[in-house]
Structure 1
């Protein structure tokens, strides 16, 4: 029997989730993303959600009120966004090779909306688009780490905007995530770099993805003991960082739809986003098929699967307390320019986590 196999029909209803009460953050806003949503992230300090769009803007929503709190423009199409650990700064990377930082430490609030923050654009040091950005802690100080299609990781001093150091990757950077002292980077040609932030200028370990097709996303476990990898071929891999734990590694199929014209084949969709629950350590996958699912990696069990939402899901994230799950519905460019139709949805929705939706399966084996 395959890992994460389909449950018996009698049990199917218990693993089928409901999205009918999910809230569309973009519905009530007069200013909303006008092009595909590339990334999103909850603030670690508030219920604010930062949303990056190909329309060259970053939108910051208050998920409690449902209102747009602030919006700022970047020079290029925005591919990535990240909050600092104190929730007071947001940094975004774009296709013009630029990083834009917005500091909310000293702001005014007019009619419930943030105004007049400090906006800073770092000097352009990358020579290609910035695909990924994260805040990392090195030597007790927080820096911005950016990953680019120029095959470089750069560490920036957020105060001065200067590059402090950099790492040469083996290929173009497609995806990146950090947890505690581990920075995981997924590149073209299926390389995966692991960087120990105690030695940030070195690649501590390089592996080839256990998945046979292009890496789409990497996401670190909540306990920093490893990471998950998603590929364009509807598969997810669970990978532990330490050599002693390699026997725990496994992969499974997901985001595949049976082909009604053939009993033996399925339509295969990209895994676009993976997010780990900050409390329970369970995780979500979301894909081009427009569905998202919650999983328990320790029990190798699917907790919940949700019906298609009407478009590809391009980005996801859990709130700091794990009570909200945000997902972006927009075109994911899997069919190129010609596939971007004007009637495709561009939305950000909030799913409230209720009951045991994300709780580990009883009896799950822990490391």
Structure 2
């Protein structure tokens, strides 16, 4: 029986009695040989590839590939290096290549079959993100860019890519992450935007009723409610949408992940608190595995950095916990 099947105890506390282990309070599966420095990005292989492979980039200047077996175990397969921290990774449509973006101002294409990487781009500053877009018929016809001045620019990618709309940020504080969501016809419909203020905005591009359909919600905050017990507020480090249900995961500097149903405006689950921030997350292509990375996010500066602290990547069964609900929050 597959460990990732719905009938197993994988990722649901089914590995035994309660534990005081704070690095893995959810008792999820640990990925073998994680990076030696903070993990900046995770990406699962596309549907065209048989099985599941996970790519992760880190501030140790490396990008690693693991095979995720049916029993939940992970096998390190290959590794490539940049001369600066790796900030983002993505897969080609057929899964034969991985693209990497780095603080060394370059982007590389990594051929997994030959295990060779070549430089494909050179910029004047670090490259923050990299994405694969199918052509000539684009799979994703929209992209959204969040700028340093808290503005948002939406681009349409059909035919000749061009600026579609500029949007004032629905959030008051610095943007941290952004993710596009699709409608029931599998077309881009809007985006979720996370900030350092422990808040996420759900924004539709062409909503029937903008005042009603667009909204924000608080997340990744402590339970303090008054001056005697003030509320701690943490950054939303990453957002990922479930590929089947359209529900979403957020991960934060508070060391927790949360699952949400944006349509029902319902929180589905919040994890126990890990002993360090969660910096990245990703769903596999059929949505039954949720990967998340535990490592320092520098939200408290250099004085809180502990080079002896181990970094982790965990795998969790996402089959049941991400199913939509009907309850309103």
| Residue aligning to 1:55 | 60
Cα deviations by residue, 1:10-43 (Å, 9 ceiling, x for unpaired):
xxxxxxx7553311103xx3xx311111111111
| Residue aligning to 1:133 | 130
| Residue aligning to 2:20 | none
Given that 1:237 and 1:252 are in contact with CA atoms closer than 8 Å, whether structure 2 keeps it comes out as yes
Higher relative contact order (CA 8 A, sep 6+): 2
Cα deviations by residue, 1:61-109 (Å, 9 ceiling, x for unpaired):
11224111111111221111111122111000111110111123xx3xx
Cα deviations by residue, 1:227-275 (Å, 9 ceiling, x for unpaired):
1000000000100011535230000111000349844630000000111
Instruction: Give the unaligned 5+ runs of structure 2.
Output: 1-11, 14-24
Partner of 1:184, secondary structure, is: strand
| Residue aligning to 2:103 | 95
| Residue aligning to 2:203 | 239
Query: 1-side partners of 2:143 and 2:42: how far apart?
Result: 19
Residue 138 of structure 1 deviates from its aligned partner by 4.2
Given that 2:243 and 2:286 are in contact with CA atoms closer than 8 Å, whether structure 1 keeps it comes out as yes
The alignment covers a number of residue pairs equal to 295
Query: 2-side partners of 1:211 and 1:292: how far apart?
Result: 20
Query: 1-side partners of 2:274 and 2:116: how far apart?
Result: 37
Query: 2-side partners of 1:226 and 1:298: how far apart?
Result: 12
Given that 1:138 and 1:200 are in contact with CA atoms closer than 8 Å, whether structure 2 keeps it comes out as no
| Residue aligning to 1:117 | 115
| Residue aligning to 1:326 | 291
Partner of 1:338, secondary structure, is: helix
Instruction: Give the unaligned 5+ runs of structure 1.
Output: 1-16, 108-115, 142-178
Residue 200 of structure 1 deviates from its aligned partner by 5.0
Matches within 5 A, 1:143-292: 180-198=140-158, 201-223=161-183, 224-246=188-210, 247-259=212-224, 262-263=227-228, 265-292=230-257
Residue 184 of structure 1 deviates from its aligned partner by 1.2
Query: 1-side partners of 2:228 and 2:249: how far apart?
Result: 28
Structure whose residues are more often strand by fraction: 1
Query: 1-side partners of 2:238 and 2:310: how far apart?
Result: 18
Query: 1-side partners of 2:31 and 2:291: how far apart?
Result: 10
Q: Over aligned residue pairs, what C-alpha RMSD do you find?
A: 2.0
Query: 2-side partners of 1:363 and 1:256: how far apart?
Result: 22
Query: 2-side partners of 1:80 and 1:123: how far apart?
Result: 14
Residue 332 of structure 1 deviates from its aligned partner by 0.5
Matches within 5 A, 1:29-108: 29=33, 32-44=34-46, 45=49, 46-64=51-69, 65-104=73-112, 107=113
Partner of 2:300, secondary structure, is: coil
Cα deviations by residue, 1:315-335 (Å, 9 ceiling, x for unpaired):
001010100000001110112
Q: What stretches of structure 1 move > 6 A for 4+ residues in a row?
A: none
| Residue aligning to 1:314 | 279
Given that 1:222 and 1:277 are in contact with CA atoms closer than 8 Å, whether structure 2 keeps it comes out as no
Cα deviations by residue, 1:164-184 (Å, 9 ceiling, x for unpaired):
xxxxxxxxxxxxxxx721111
Query: 2-side partners of 1:291 and 1:20: how far apart?
Result: 10
| Residue aligning to 2:21 | none
Query: 2-side partners of 1:103 and 1:299: how far apart?
Result: 42
Query: 1-side partners of 2:223 and 2:31: how far apart?
Result: 32
| Residue aligning to 1:301 | 266
Query: 1-side partners of 2:233 and 2:308: how far apart?
Result: 23
